[in-house]
Amino acid sequence: MKKVVLFLLSLGFIISSCTKEKIVEKPVIKEVVKEVIVEKPVVKEVVIEKPCENKVKEVSLNVEYEPFFRGKIYPSLYYSLAGKESFNNKVFTVTLNSNDDVKVKLEMIENDFTSYKELIIDLKKGDNEVKIDVPWKYSDFRNLTKAGFTYFKFRVLEQETDKFLNAFDLKLEHRSINECVYAIKDLHTNENYSHSYLFTSYVNEDSPVIDKFLSETLKNSQNKYRVDDWSGYQKNAKGVLQEIACVVYELYLRGMKYSNITDTSNSNNGIYSQYIRFIEDSISLTQANCVDGSVLVASILEKIGIDCELIMVPGHMYVRAYLDKKHSDFYLIETTAISTGDKYQIFLTTDQKAGDFEHYNEMLNSQNGYSLIDIKYVRQLGYKPIQ
């Protein structure tokens, strides 16, 4: 029995040893994951503006007049310069600001000074500048005998639809056609520049009034210097002087009187001007100041072929008339003395005007109020008389 028990105990131990499994715990490894936060770039949405046919076109409009003329219109100046190719007639600057590219029609409305003008312009978005070559009504300037104000009107339309976009009215002062500009102060240098050549605008050798005057003078038996015809330099110096004396004496017989009324307005704004009568007015009114009389006598003598110059000194003007084509001899004509009928006061020599001719170089260069204005030379330069 004891043996049996020992056997069973021994068998149980073996079985126990064979069936028992050894358990080995593995170390636990904890995985640490580092979290990295990456900011995503902000993508801005780009909006591309597509052209829209229905977009409302907006155009602002502004007009400026050439500052050189100090906001005034001088008809005599524009008339005289009309024949000059170099004259810049673009005195209005138009600025148009558009909110889009657009083709427009810019209109300058007709008034007493200008004809209607139309420009087709391809505007770009933003500021656009246009200078207008002004269509002046030169033929009507002759009737502008009074100073006043006028409006220059501009408007802009869409070319395709004729839709009104904007308008601008510019009010400017205008002077009389009789007002001659003879000097202008430069805006930048403040120096005065002579424009005395513009006095020749009132020397009108082609006026029909002169033809009538010369015809009647030939028939006037009371004229003690009467001539048979007007031949100018076809005669000798004595014959030319006789014609000059005949013209001057005819004015005396008609009662030509000296009038010291002048108008030198606007000098305070840098533009110097003087009122000048037209020659028909001087003849019909039988009144003339030194400038009126000088342009009248010069007009008549130039008509009959006698060369003349206007001599301007500070505060005065008279005429130099040449007795021959070579200009080797001449007389000075003091038109303010015509009413005296005294040839010794009317016809002078350089000796009698010696004080003036001490400034001869200044005359030649139009300086300090002195000018020597050769009428034929000025005509050759393209300056025309007011007719």
pLDDT digits (tens, 9 = 90+) for 219-265: 998 999 989 999 999 999 999 999 999 999 999 999 999 987 665 55
Q: Do 234 and 292 share a domain, yes or no?
A: yes
Position 23 in a domain: no
Q: How far apart are CA 150 and CA 174, in angstroms?
A: 7
Q: Give pLDDT, residue 84.
A: 78
Q: Give pLDDT, residue 160.
A: 92
Position 336 in a domain: yes
Say whether pLDDT at 365 is over 50: yes
Q: Do 224 and 352 share a domain, yes or no?
A: yes
Position 8 in a domain: no
* CATH number for 151: 2.60.40
Position 2 in a domain: no
Q: Give pLDDT, residue 11.
A: 39
Residue 80 phi, psi (nearest 5): -65, -35
Which of 120, 143, 174 delimits the end of a domain?
174
pLDDT digits (tens, 9 = 90+) for 70-79: 899 999 999 9
Q: How far apart are CA 123 and CA 237, in angstroms?
A: 66
Q: Give pLDDT, residue 17.
A: 43
Which of 174, 194, 214 delimits the end of a domain?
174
Place of tokens 């100046």: 77
Q: Do 189 and 86 share a domain, yes or no?
A: no
Say whether pLDDT at 154 is over 80: yes
Contact present, 83 and 379 (Cβ < 8 Å): no
Please give the average per-residue pLDDT across 155-171, as a whole number.
96
Say whether pLDDT at 56 is over 50: yes
Q: Do 84 and 199 share a domain, yes or no?
A: no
Q: Residue 113: give the domain boundaries.
A: 59-174
Q: Give pLDDT, residue 148.
A: 95
DSSP 286: T
Q: How far apart are CA 86 and CA 65, in angstroms?
A: 19
How sure is the predictor about 41, in pLDDT bands with cuts at 50, 70 and 90? low
Which of 106, 141, 174 delimits the end of a domain?
174
Q: How far apart are CA 47 and CA 350, in angstroms?
A: 85
Position 292 in a domain: yes
The model carries a pTM of 0.80
Q: Do 67 and 96 share a domain, yes or no?
A: yes
Q: Do 139 and 253 share a domain, yes or no?
A: no
Q: How far apart are CA 370 and CA 367, in angstroms?
A: 5
Q: Do 139 and 201 share a domain, yes or no?
A: no
Position 214 in a domain: yes
Q: Do 113 and 260 share a domain, yes or no?
A: no
Position 329 in a domain: yes
Q: Do 184 and 157 share a domain, yes or no?
A: no
Q: Do 190 and 328 share a domain, yes or no?
A: yes
Q: Give pLDDT, residue 37.
A: 47
Position 117 in a domain: yes
Q: Do 200 and 168 share a domain, yes or no?
A: no
Quickly count: other Cβ atoms within 10 Å of residue 27's Cβ: 4
Q: Do 166 and 93 share a domain, yes or no?
A: yes
Say whether pLDDT at 188 is over 90: no
Q: What percent of the chain has pLDDT over 70?
A: 84
Please give the tally of structural domains in the chain: 2
pLDDT digits (tens, 9 = 90+) for 22-35: 444 444 444 444 44
Place of tokens 């010291």: 260
Q: Give pLDDT, residue 31.
A: 45
How sure is the predictor about 269, in pLDDT bands with cuts at 50, 70 and 90? confident
